Amino acid sequence: MVSIPSELIESLRHAKHVVATTGAGVSAESGVPTFRDAQTGLWAKYEPTELAAPRAFHKDPKLVWEWYQWRRDKVLSVHPNPGHYALVELGSRWPKFDLITQNVDGLHQQAGSQNVIELHGSIMTARCFDRGHQSEFWPESSEQCPPVCEICASLMRPNVVWFNESLPKRAIDEAMRASRECDVFFSIGTSSIVYPAAALATNALESGAVVIEINPNETPLTSMATYSIVGPSGIVLPELLAKLAGEFR
Protein backbone atom coordinates (compact mmCIF):
# COMPACT_ATOMS: atom_id res chain seq x y z
CA MET A 1 0.00 0.00 0.00
CA VAL A 2 1.50 3.36 -1.00
CA SER A 3 1.01 6.37 1.27
CA ILE A 4 -0.74 9.19 -0.60
CA PRO A 5 -1.48 12.28 1.54
CA SER A 6 -5.16 13.35 1.67
CA GLU A 7 -4.11 16.96 0.97
CA LEU A 8 -2.64 15.73 -2.35
CA ILE A 9 -5.99 14.13 -3.27
CA GLU A 10 -7.68 17.40 -2.27
CA SER A 11 -5.39 19.38 -4.64
CA LEU A 12 -6.27 16.98 -7.44
CA ARG A 13 -9.99 17.29 -6.68
CA HIS A 14 -9.87 21.04 -7.24
CA ALA A 15 -7.41 21.04 -10.16
CA LYS A 16 -8.54 22.41 -13.52
CA HIS A 17 -5.34 21.75 -15.51
CA VAL A 18 -3.05 18.80 -14.74
CA VAL A 19 0.25 17.97 -16.49
CA ALA A 20 2.05 14.62 -16.28
CA THR A 21 5.65 14.33 -17.47
CA THR A 22 7.11 10.85 -17.76
CA GLY A 23 10.56 9.33 -18.17
CA ALA A 24 11.93 5.85 -18.76
CA GLY A 25 10.84 4.70 -15.28
CA VAL A 26 7.20 4.61 -16.37
CA SER A 27 8.09 1.89 -18.91
CA ALA A 28 10.33 -0.07 -16.49
CA GLU A 29 7.46 -2.32 -15.35
CA SER A 30 6.77 -3.18 -18.98
CA GLY A 31 10.29 -4.63 -19.10
CA VAL A 32 11.96 -1.78 -20.98
CA PRO A 33 15.37 -1.05 -19.39
CA THR A 34 15.52 2.56 -18.21
CA PHE A 35 17.93 4.88 -19.92
CA ARG A 36 20.57 4.72 -17.24
CA ASP A 37 20.06 1.10 -16.16
CA ALA A 38 23.17 -0.92 -16.57
CA GLN A 39 23.09 -1.81 -20.23
CA THR A 40 22.70 -5.53 -20.78
CA GLY A 41 24.63 -7.87 -22.99
CA LEU A 42 26.43 -6.40 -25.95
CA TRP A 43 25.75 -2.87 -24.77
CA ALA A 44 27.20 -3.34 -21.28
CA LYS A 45 30.39 -1.52 -22.27
CA TYR A 46 28.67 1.62 -23.67
CA GLU A 47 27.23 4.65 -21.86
CA PRO A 48 23.79 5.47 -23.40
CA THR A 49 24.68 9.16 -23.47
CA GLU A 50 27.69 8.19 -25.62
CA LEU A 51 25.53 6.30 -28.10
CA ALA A 52 22.60 8.74 -28.26
CA ALA A 53 24.56 11.51 -29.99
CA PRO A 54 25.39 12.62 -33.56
CA ARG A 55 29.10 12.23 -32.77
CA ALA A 56 28.60 8.54 -31.98
CA PHE A 57 26.63 8.05 -35.20
CA HIS A 58 29.32 9.74 -37.29
CA LYS A 59 32.01 7.66 -35.57
CA ASP A 60 30.25 4.30 -35.89
CA PRO A 61 26.85 4.46 -37.64
CA LYS A 62 26.52 0.66 -37.69
CA LEU A 63 26.96 0.38 -33.90
CA VAL A 64 24.46 3.15 -33.19
CA TRP A 65 21.90 1.80 -35.68
CA GLU A 66 22.21 -1.71 -34.19
CA TRP A 67 21.74 -0.27 -30.68
CA TYR A 68 18.46 1.36 -31.76
CA GLN A 69 17.39 -1.77 -33.66
CA TRP A 70 17.99 -3.77 -30.44
CA ARG A 71 16.04 -1.25 -28.32
CA ARG A 72 13.23 -1.06 -30.88
CA ASP A 73 12.92 -4.88 -31.05
CA LYS A 74 12.75 -4.87 -27.24
CA VAL A 75 10.03 -2.21 -27.18
CA LEU A 76 7.99 -4.04 -29.84
CA SER A 77 8.08 -7.18 -27.68
CA VAL A 78 6.53 -5.54 -24.57
CA HIS A 79 3.17 -4.02 -23.64
CA PRO A 80 2.00 -0.98 -21.67
CA ASN A 81 1.80 -1.58 -17.90
CA PRO A 82 -0.86 -0.51 -15.33
CA GLY A 83 0.91 2.84 -14.94
CA HIS A 84 0.39 3.68 -18.63
CA TYR A 85 -3.26 2.65 -18.44
CA ALA A 86 -3.85 4.62 -15.23
CA LEU A 87 -2.54 7.73 -17.02
CA VAL A 88 -5.11 7.17 -19.78
CA GLU A 89 -7.88 7.10 -17.14
CA LEU A 90 -6.43 10.03 -15.18
CA GLY A 91 -6.23 12.01 -18.41
CA SER A 92 -10.02 12.08 -18.64
CA ARG A 93 -10.57 13.36 -15.08
CA TRP A 94 -9.80 17.04 -15.48
CA PRO A 95 -10.98 19.78 -17.86
CA LYS A 96 -7.43 20.03 -19.20
CA PHE A 97 -4.71 17.35 -19.08
CA ASP A 98 -1.34 17.29 -20.90
CA LEU A 99 0.83 14.17 -21.11
CA ILE A 100 4.46 14.96 -21.88
CA THR A 101 7.03 12.18 -22.28
CA GLN A 102 10.79 11.88 -22.70
CA ASN A 103 10.28 8.28 -23.75
CA VAL A 104 10.65 7.20 -27.37
CA ASP A 105 8.87 3.82 -26.95
CA GLY A 106 5.31 4.82 -27.93
CA LEU A 107 3.84 2.86 -24.98
CA HIS A 108 1.63 5.76 -23.84
CA GLN A 109 0.00 5.83 -27.28
CA GLN A 110 -0.30 2.02 -27.29
CA ALA A 111 -2.14 2.25 -23.93
CA GLY A 112 -4.59 4.77 -25.44
CA SER A 113 -3.23 8.20 -24.41
CA GLN A 114 -4.02 10.88 -26.99
CA ASN A 115 -2.00 13.94 -28.05
CA VAL A 116 1.14 12.74 -26.27
CA ILE A 117 3.86 15.41 -26.39
CA GLU A 118 7.04 13.45 -27.33
CA LEU A 119 9.96 15.67 -26.30
CA HIS A 120 12.67 13.27 -27.48
CA GLY A 121 11.06 11.84 -30.61
CA SER A 122 10.22 8.24 -31.37
CA ILE A 123 12.08 4.98 -32.00
CA MET A 124 9.16 3.80 -34.17
CA THR A 125 10.22 5.67 -37.33
CA ALA A 126 13.40 6.84 -39.04
CA ARG A 127 14.67 9.62 -41.29
CA CYS A 128 17.83 10.17 -43.27
CA PHE A 129 20.65 11.98 -41.47
CA ASP A 130 21.56 14.49 -44.17
CA ARG A 131 18.20 15.72 -45.48
CA GLY A 132 15.60 14.48 -42.97
CA HIS A 133 13.61 12.47 -45.52
CA GLN A 134 11.09 10.55 -43.39
CA SER A 135 10.62 6.82 -43.96
CA GLU A 136 7.03 5.67 -43.51
CA PHE A 137 8.22 2.36 -42.04
CA TRP A 138 11.32 1.39 -40.07
CA PRO A 139 13.77 0.49 -42.85
CA GLU A 140 14.86 -3.14 -42.58
CA SER A 141 17.87 -3.86 -44.71
CA SER A 142 20.06 -6.91 -44.66
CA GLU A 143 22.58 -5.57 -47.17
CA GLN A 144 23.38 -2.25 -45.53
CA CYS A 145 23.60 -1.22 -41.89
CA PRO A 146 22.43 1.47 -41.37
CA PRO A 147 20.05 1.36 -44.38
CA VAL A 148 20.31 4.28 -46.80
CA CYS A 149 17.65 6.78 -47.79
CA GLU A 150 15.63 5.78 -50.86
CA ILE A 151 15.56 9.42 -51.97
CA CYS A 152 19.07 10.78 -51.35
CA ALA A 153 21.04 7.67 -50.36
CA SER A 154 22.29 9.23 -47.10
CA LEU A 155 22.37 7.09 -43.97
CA MET A 156 19.09 6.50 -42.10
CA ARG A 157 18.85 7.34 -38.37
CA PRO A 158 16.08 6.87 -35.77
CA ASN A 159 13.61 9.75 -35.29
CA VAL A 160 14.87 10.45 -31.76
CA VAL A 161 16.45 13.63 -30.35
CA TRP A 162 20.10 12.96 -29.57
CA PHE A 163 22.20 14.81 -27.00
CA ASN A 164 23.27 18.21 -28.34
CA GLU A 165 20.35 18.18 -30.77
CA SER A 166 17.47 20.62 -30.32
CA LEU A 167 14.10 19.28 -29.23
CA PRO A 168 11.17 19.63 -31.67
CA LYS A 169 10.19 23.32 -31.25
CA ARG A 170 6.43 22.71 -31.11
CA ALA A 171 6.81 19.94 -28.51
CA ILE A 172 9.06 21.89 -26.12
CA ASP A 173 7.07 25.13 -26.54
CA GLU A 174 3.80 23.31 -25.76
CA ALA A 175 5.41 21.55 -22.79
CA MET A 176 6.90 24.76 -21.38
CA ARG A 177 3.57 26.56 -21.67
CA ALA A 178 1.66 23.69 -20.05
CA SER A 179 4.14 23.53 -17.16
CA ARG A 180 3.64 27.26 -16.48
CA GLU A 181 -0.18 27.17 -16.72
CA CYS A 182 -1.11 24.00 -14.83
CA ASP A 183 -2.42 23.68 -11.24
CA VAL A 184 -0.82 20.28 -10.64
CA PHE A 185 2.36 18.89 -12.27
CA PHE A 186 3.35 15.20 -12.02
CA SER A 187 6.98 14.15 -12.62
CA ILE A 188 6.84 10.36 -13.06
CA GLY A 189 9.75 7.94 -13.51
CA THR A 190 12.46 10.35 -14.52
CA SER A 191 15.90 11.00 -13.06
CA SER A 192 15.25 14.72 -13.71
CA ILE A 193 18.77 15.32 -15.04
CA VAL A 194 18.18 15.76 -18.78
CA TYR A 195 17.46 19.31 -19.95
CA PRO A 196 15.40 21.11 -21.10
CA ALA A 197 12.86 18.42 -20.01
CA ALA A 198 14.02 18.61 -16.38
CA ALA A 199 13.26 22.35 -16.34
CA LEU A 200 9.52 21.71 -16.70
CA ALA A 201 9.08 20.78 -13.04
CA THR A 202 10.89 23.89 -11.78
CA ASN A 203 8.81 25.97 -14.21
CA ALA A 204 5.68 24.52 -12.63
CA LEU A 205 6.97 25.16 -9.09
CA GLU A 206 7.85 28.77 -9.96
CA SER A 207 4.35 29.25 -11.39
CA GLY A 208 2.78 28.09 -8.13
CA ALA A 209 1.69 24.60 -9.21
CA VAL A 210 1.58 21.64 -6.83
CA VAL A 211 4.43 19.38 -8.01
CA ILE A 212 4.14 15.64 -7.33
CA GLU A 213 7.07 13.30 -7.98
CA ILE A 214 6.50 9.53 -8.34
CA ASN A 215 9.77 7.60 -8.26
CA PRO A 216 11.18 4.74 -6.15
CA ASN A 217 14.43 6.69 -5.88
CA GLU A 218 15.49 10.23 -4.98
CA THR A 219 16.24 12.68 -7.78
CA PRO A 220 17.35 16.36 -7.87
CA LEU A 221 13.62 17.24 -7.89
CA THR A 222 12.70 15.29 -4.74
CA SER A 223 13.70 17.97 -2.22
CA MET A 224 11.84 20.69 -4.18
CA ALA A 225 8.64 18.80 -4.99
CA THR A 226 5.45 19.59 -3.04
CA TYR A 227 4.88 15.83 -2.63
CA SER A 228 7.21 12.92 -3.30
CA ILE A 229 5.51 9.51 -3.55
CA VAL A 230 8.16 6.82 -3.25
CA GLY A 231 7.20 3.80 -5.30
CA PRO A 232 6.92 2.28 -8.75
CA SER A 233 4.51 4.13 -11.08
CA GLY A 234 2.80 0.86 -12.07
CA ILE A 235 1.62 0.56 -8.46
CA VAL A 236 1.27 4.22 -7.41
CA LEU A 237 -0.74 5.52 -10.38
CA PRO A 238 -3.50 2.86 -10.16
CA GLU A 239 -3.72 3.51 -6.40
CA LEU A 240 -4.01 7.24 -7.02
CA LEU A 241 -6.73 6.59 -9.59
CA ALA A 242 -8.60 4.37 -7.12
CA LYS A 243 -8.45 7.06 -4.40
CA LEU A 244 -9.69 9.70 -6.86
CA ALA A 245 -12.45 7.40 -8.06
CA GLY A 246 -13.44 6.92 -4.43
CA GLU A 247 -13.40 10.68 -3.96
CA PHE A 248 -15.45 11.39 -7.05
CA ARG A 249 -18.05 8.68 -6.42
Residue 75 in the binding site for ligand BV8 (CB under 6 A):
no
Q: Per CB under 6 A, which of residues 87..106 are in contact with ligand BV8?
A: 102-104
Question: In this complex, which beta carbon is closest to ligand BV8, that of residue 25 or of residue 91?
Answer: 25
Q: Give CA torsion, residues 191, 44, 108, 23, to 10 deg.
A: 10
CB nearer ligand BV8, residue 17 or residue 110: 110
Nearer to ligand BV8, 5 or 31 (CB): 31
Kindly state whether residue 211 participates in binding ligand BV8, applying the rule CB under 6 A.
no
Task: Report whether 147 contacts 128 (CB < 8 A).
Answer: no
- 34 is a site residue for ligand BV8 (CB under 6 A): yes
SS3 228: strand
In the sheet that holds 156-160, the strands lie side by side as 134-135, 121-128, 156-160
- The nearer residue to ligand BV8, 17 or 168, going by C-beta atoms, is 168
Q: Tell me if 160 contacts ligand BV8 by CB under 6 A.
A: yes
**Catalytic one of 14, 58, 79, 120:** 120
DSSP assignments along 161-191, one per residue: PPTTSPPPHHHHHHHHHHHHH-SEEEEES--
Task: Indicate whether 202 belongs to the interface with ligand BV8 (CB under 6 A).
Answer: no
Q: Is 120 a catalytic residue?
A: yes
Sole binder of ligand BV8 in the list 39, 180, 216, 230 (CB under 6 A): 216
Q: CA 39, 164, 151: angle at the middle one, nearest 5?
A: 90
Residue type, 181: E
Classified as helix, coil or strand, 19 is: strand
User: Per CB under 6 A, which region of 21-29, 72-80, 106-114, 134-142 contacts ligand BV8?
Assistant: 21-29
Please give the positions annotated as active site. Answer: 120
